[in-house]
Structure 1
Amino acid sequence: MALLSLLGAAIVAWTIVELGLTTLTAQGAGPLTARSMQWGWRLALAITGGEERRHRLLTLFGPLILAGAALIWFLGLWLGWWLVFLGSGDGILNAQTRVPADAQEMLYFTGYTLATLGLGDYQPTGALWQMLTTLCAANGLLALTLSVTYLVPVISAAVAKRQLAILIHGLGSTPDGILTRCAQCGSYARLGSILDTLSPDIVTLGQQHLAYPALHYFHSPQAAAALPLRLAALSEAIDSIAATVPADKQPDSLAMMRCQSAISSFLWSLQSGHIRLAEDEPPRPHSHVVAPPAPAHELKRIAAGQAGSVDRRLLLSLIESDGWHWRDINFRNDDDGAMERRSQTPAS
């Protein structure tokens, strides 16, 4: 019987470690929690099909995965404390008959003690089991408090994630659309101040993804609010500007480098747990707004020198891990199409 109590204590300790690593550190989740989230999301990607229906369904899995993590913690504590009390023999008695509780009754006792509902039908006997019952109730209260305080900032960060995506989308829905809008302004230089504004927000979101791994699984069904697509479009637009726009018309090179560095930081925060490096780089977009892109080797040289560099294989992996395809960054909305047609119309 003592072995059951020791096994239960080990499960309780492991669950507390999982809970603490996930909610009290800024370096991700506990091993079991992180794996369960990843498996849940991979299952979601596997069972959803059809583009429009797929994205609608994927929006449901972020909250479900977050709630599932909290459920795993509670079930781990429930199982562990049940085994602890199960090893007590006659340590838990029926309050009316004074008969020792059986396994099912101890499971019930453990559940309402963890849920901090107070003692009722069953009571511990002896100082040891009374102390352990108090510790079990305190453990349940702590787990509930940490779970709730963890859920709130994740939801807040998910809103900030959508907000940042929409702000970037305001520059243009595609890499070509961003260049189009800059061309309409008569100069690309104004983009520099916008990039300086966006860079800190991108870094912040990257660190929030690192602190709250469940944030990666909050999916947007609209491309305009999907941050992976928007970051890829922005990065590709910066590379195109660095490679094709004359130097005297470009935004401040430091602003472009800072933004690309922020995007790289975002990708780094996800690489350890959510995305893996793709084998090949995705194709480059072809802009019709400025001069045709330079050859690939020239583009890499100019972009690395003037606008920083982002590993485009990670950008591809980020997009695919969110349920999108690389071609989606080139989906042009009506506003961008109209602006592009105006930019190509000869002046009368």
Structure 2
Amino acid sequence: MLLATGSVVDAQTSAPASFTDVVHYAGFTVFTLGQNATDVVTRGWSGQDFTSAFVRQLVSLTTELVTTAEQHLAYPVLHHFRSRERIAAAPSAIARLDEAMLLLSCAVADSARPHASTIDPVRAAIGRYLTTTSMTATVGDPPDEPPAPQRASLQAAGIPTTAQQEYVAAVSRSAERRRRLHRLLHGNGWSWPTT
């Protein structure tokens, strides 16, 4: 049973966290990374490269995201738990994180981006979350594709970026995934996180 994995524990009792605690933890962890996708990416930049602490935090999120996704499948009622604050709501945090991974994988130049072994598992875990929540949640008509995260903040922070046309093409290839995230947010009563 995923609840007993011990990947997230209560700090006071050392007991495995409940499924709602894990969902809140995943949302809160993404919240601590940044307010929006560009904020997540620029906070990880040291001026020379992405810090090892940033990379480790992304790697550690993968397990929490997979656990959260599986718990949505095991406990469909989980979809009805909502945070009062948009910034900490799991669907909002996951959309923000996915947009940050889009920026890292498609807007940041190859020479500066973290290795794919950091980014790809996070994106795969988010994909799993989208799959399981779509199986357990009822959402309305798909909203339009949300606006793409802007690269200007990355460039202003001195992060080397890809060519604009390369980035636009990558965002276009992610259109369906981004619509699914938008639909999930919309179904939970939240608007798309802006950059």
TM interval, short-chain normalised: 0.7 to 0.9
1:225 pairs with 2:64:
no
| CA distance 1:285–1:203, shift in 2 (3 Å) | same
1:281 pairs with 2:145:
yes
Runs of 4+ in 1 over 6 A off after TM superposition: none
More helix by share: 1
SS of 1:167 mapped into structure 2: helix
Give the aligned partner of residue 18 of structure 2. Answer: 156
| CA distance 1:160–1:300, shift in 2 (3 Å) | same
> Following the alignment from structure 2 to structure 1, what is the Cα–Cα distance between the partners of residues 135 and 129?
11
1:177 pairs with 2:39:
yes
The question of whether the paired residues in 2 share the 8 Å contact of 1:264 and 1:310 is answered with no
Give the aligned partner of residue 246 of structure 1. Answer: 109
After superposition, the CA RMSD in angstroms is 2.6
The question of whether the paired residues in 2 share the 8 Å contact of 1:192 and 1:252 is answered with no
2:73 aligned to which of 210, 215, 229: 210
Counterpart AA for 1:199: T
Give how far 1:188 is off.
Answer: 2.2
Give the aligned partner of residue 180 of structure 2. Answer: 314
| CA deviations over 1:86-120 (Å, ceiling 9, x no partner) | xxxxxxxxxxxxxxxxxxxxxxxxxxxxxxxxxxx
Structure 1 gaps, min length 5: 1-154, 332-348
Structure of larger gyration radius: 1
Give how far 1:244 is off.
Answer: 2.1
> Following the alignment from structure 2 to structure 1, what is the Cα–Cα distance between the partners of residues 100 and 22?
23
Structure 2 gaps, min length 5: 1-16, 156-160
Counterpart AA for 2:25: Q
Give the aligned partner of residue 25 of structure 1. Answer: none
Work out which structure has the larger RCO, using CA pairs closer than 8 Å and 6 or more positions apart in sequence. Answer: 2
| CA deviations over 1:133-168 (Å, ceiling 9, x no partner) | xxxxxxxxxxxxxxxxxxxxxx92112111111111
Alignment: residue pair count: 170
SS of 1:250 mapped into structure 2: coil
> Following the alignment from structure 1 to structure 2, what is the Cα–Cα distance between the partners of residues 330 and 275?
24
Give the aligned partner of residue 69 of structure 1. Answer: none
Counterpart AA for 2:133: L
The question of whether the paired residues in 1 share the 8 Å contact of 2:19 and 2:71 is answered with yes
SS of 1:188 mapped into structure 2: coil
SS of 1:285 mapped into structure 2: coil
> Following the alignment from structure 1 to structure 2, what is the Cα–Cα distance between the partners of residues 223 and 244?
26
SS of 1:243 mapped into structure 2: helix
The percent identity for this pair of structures is 25
Give the aligned partner of residue 190 of structure 2. Answer: 324
Give how far 1:184 is off.
Answer: 4.2
> Following the alignment from structure 1 to structure 2, what is the Cα–Cα distance between the partners of residues 179 and 227?
19
> For residues 93-132 of structure 1, what are the structure 2 equivalents within 5 Å?
none
> Following the alignment from structure 1 to structure 2, what is the Cα–Cα distance between the partners of residues 207 and 229?
18
SS of 2:24 mapped into structure 1: helix
The question of whether the paired residues in 2 share the 8 Å contact of 1:210 and 1:270 is answered with yes
| CA deviations over 1:209-253 (Å, ceiling 9, x no partner) | 111111111110112321111111111011112222221211111
1:267 pairs with 2:130:
yes
1:194 pairs with 2:60:
no
